[in-house]
Structure 1
Amino acid sequence: MIRLFTQMRLIFIAMVMLLSLSACENSAGNMHTVPAEEQKADESAVPDSDTDQDKIKIAFAMDTLLEERWPRDRDLFREAVEALGAEVEIMAASGDDALQITQMERMISSGIDVLVVVPHNAEATATIVNMAHSAGIKVIAYDRLIRNAEIDLYVSFDNERVGELQAEAMQKQVPSGSYVYIGGAETDYNAHQFKQGVFNVLQPLIDRGDIRIVFDQWSQDWTPASARANMEAAFQANGDQIDAVISANDATAGGVIEALEARGLAGKIPVAGQDADLAAVQRIVEGTQMMTVYKPIHLLAEEAAELALKLAMGEPVVADQKINNGKIEVPSVLLTPIAVDRHNVMDTIIADGFHTEEEVYRNTEK
């Protein structure tokens, strides 16, 4: 009996202890211990510092996407920025100054780190630079210089050299005679640089009397229609006594050649352009345009993307040249353009994959 009583007493004590433990767990709010493996999994679920929110953000404010080259710049720049691990926001203003300024204001307010700008109007865009700087945002002028503003960097090709290449090629083809110059948009400072380069070469020949400039006019917004109207005005002023035409780019060269075709003169009066647009390169191999100036824009887009990230991170940027924009000497990175005619199309434009052989020689044998 004593043994039985003792066993029952032990069982009773054990039950009380179990009930006490259960009560303690309830009073602690059912707390439990998380295994170490689960703790590790929870920690890995917490976002680290390398999230999308922490990525450098680059804005690309573009003038237009209407000309052939600019969609290329857009896509190449986006690819280059994203390959470097940053984000990019891109807007194009279709040649509207007010819209471009509004777009840039929106970009600045969205919390970007660097603003990259292809200005429509080199002067009007200056108003946005102070706003960007006040927000701690660096500003890069892409391919077109922003005038009268303290921009941080200018990345482009050597635009005066572009004009010099045009004039050098034309002077070899037509060493003397009556020249027409069809400029780009007067609001675009690049157009002035191209023209300066052309006249760097032609002025000594003009002074000597070998060459006469019989017509010289800007083309509104770089449009082929404006260039064609200018070329028709040149004919009205000079009859058919025109020996050579230098156009500020390939779009304006296309308008010029339309005017020549209407008079049966396409291929008889040499025309120079620049940008290596597909239509222009096709005209070159077909014989209606003499030359273009090729600017490997993949190099420009990649360089601008790399420099934008360096500015965003506060790293030093090496700019070996300076260009005066009317207010300061702007640190500038200027790439080298290449003259192209029918003899070196394969070795330049096609070799780089800028256009394919099939595209260029669509109706022409090499």
Structure 2
Amino acid sequence: MKNIPKMSLTSLFLIIVMIVTAGCSSTEKASSTNHSKLITDDSKPYVGFLLDTLKDERWYKDKALFEEEIKKLGGQVKTLAANGLDEVQIKQAQLLIEEGVDVLVVVPHDAVISAEIVEIAHEAGVKVVSYDRLIKNADVDYYISFDNEKVGEIQATEILKKVPNGNFAYIGGAESDNNAILFRQGAMKVLQPLIDNGTVKLVHDQYTDDWNPDIAKENMKTALSKNGNAINAVIAANDGTAGGVIESLAGVGLAGTVPVSGQDAELEGVRRVVQGLQTMTVYKPINLLAVKSAEMAIMVAKGEEVKTDKQINNGKIDVPAVFLDPIAITNENVRDTVIKDGYLNEADVFK
């Protein structure tokens, strides 16, 4: 018997997705011109929601809130998550278009590769809303997110309140995610003048592949090692990377003594804030983002005009955009923000 080569889980998953897609009979597939809806009430707007991943806690919240609001507004929605695989996300977009979606709302895995989703959608007459993360180099119809440069500004400002000078490390998110670039740009707006006058020394500056906390942990280990553990403050791009950073700090006895930023107000991140291990996180009220995005999606699906007051250049066009305001969360205002809003439960936070 010949040896059969082993197949990776990723390859197997891609094959399954392609089989499912290819297996749709001709009677099931929608024409790119008439968009007959296969699994929905044809009288209701049909929204496709493409998520990068459901590995992170926050995206479960986005999914639940967005779907609930779409249904409240009289629409129907189908959500697919690509688990960080670009080929899968593109294939999922094709599947939803074939099923007759009126609009695609996309959280891209890779800001550049996902431009193909926009091309495919527009060929079929389907508009695309870029959700929270900007799709680059494409004719995106709308973008909705928080002011992500402001997120970085808030992170740097809060850390400087604790440590106004010294050796700083920046542990960013995934460079393939445009938000990670915007977070860093915002932080550098605050830090650069201090770096220029010598008040702050940026001794380590590194993005983190796939926002992976384990990689962030290794990046922080490198920063500590090459600086003899002499790191006075860390700006971490989100709560996941902050968790990895804090693990590395704990390994050299510095957890709780070196200020560390975060973002997303994830439960574990907020717990670390109240425990004194993490200095702050950034709360982006996902309920507001989900509701506003759902409203936009339904309007686009119905062919109605969406009013925006901002634009953001994605490398190809100035995309009509809506920006929402992020909020700094510290030990002092946890109860008045994420708990008061019902975003997190007090008993869980102070467990």
- Residue 142 in structure 1 maps to residue 111 in structure 2: no
Equivalent residue for 1:95, pick from 84, 95, 103: 84
- Residue 85 in structure 1 maps to residue 74 in structure 2: yes
For 1:244, the equivalent position in structure 2 comes to: 233
Describe the superposition over 1:277-329 as per-residue Cα deviations: whole angstroms up to 9, x where unpaired.
Answer: 10010001100000000000000000000001111112111111000000000
Equivalent residue for 2:204, pick from 215, 228, 237: 215
- Residue 167 in structure 1 maps to residue 156 in structure 2: yes
Describe the superposition over 1:223-282 as per-residue Cα deviations: whole angstroms up to 9, x where unpaired.
Answer: 110000000000111011100000010000000011111111110101001000100100
**How far off is 1:181 after superposition?**
0.2
3-state DSSP class of the match of 1:163? helix
Runs of 4+, deviation exceeding 3 Å: none
Describe the superposition over 1:169-198 as per-residue Cα deviations: whole angstroms up to 9, x where unpaired.
Answer: 111111100000001001101000000000
The one-letter code of the counterpart of 1:176 is: N
1:110-129 matches, cutoff 5 A: 110-129=99-118
How many residues of Structure 1 are paired with residues of Structure 2 in the alignment? 312
For 1:229, the equivalent position in structure 2 comes to: 218
- Residue 280 in structure 1 maps to residue 269 in structure 2: yes
1:350 and 1:308 map into 2 onto residues whose CA distance is 28
3-state DSSP class of the match of 2:235? strand
For 1:108, the equivalent position in structure 2 comes to: 97
For 1:326, the equivalent position in structure 2 comes to: 315
The one-letter code of the counterpart of 1:193 is: L
> Cα RMSD over matched residues?
0.8
1:346 and 1:236 map into 2 onto residues whose CA distance is 37
1:167 and 1:235 map into 2 onto residues whose CA distance is 20
Equivalent residue for 2:255, pick from 266, 282, 293: 266
For 1:361, the equivalent position in structure 2 comes to: 350
For 1:206, the equivalent position in structure 2 comes to: 195
Describe the superposition over 1:45-82 as per-residue Cα deviations: whole angstroms up to 9, x where unpaired.
Answer: xxxxxx92221100000000001100110111100101
The one-letter code of the counterpart of 2:260 is: V
TM-score of the aligned structures, taking structure 2 as reference length: 0.88
**How far off is 1:122 after superposition?**
0.3
The one-letter code of the counterpart of 1:139 is: V
- Residue 74 in structure 1 maps to residue 63 in structure 2: yes
For 2:172, the equivalent position in structure 1 comes to: 183
For 1:299, the equivalent position in structure 2 comes to: 288
| Structure with greater helix share of residues | 1
1:331-342 matches, cutoff 5 A: 331-342=320-331
1:355 and 1:262 map into 2 onto residues whose CA distance is 29
Gaps of 5+ in 2: 1-39
Describe the superposition over 1:87-143 as per-residue Cα deviations: whole angstroms up to 9, x where unpaired.
Answer: 001000000011111111111111110000000000000012122112111100000
The one-letter code of the counterpart of 2:92 is: Q
1:211 and 1:101 map into 2 onto residues whose CA distance is 43
State the percentage of identical aligned residues.
54
The one-letter code of the counterpart of 1:357 is: E
The one-letter code of the counterpart of 1:232 is: K
User: Which has the greater radius of gyration?
Assistant: 1
TM-score of the aligned structures, taking structure 1 as reference length: 0.84
Equivalent residue for 1:315, pick from 294, 298, 304: 304
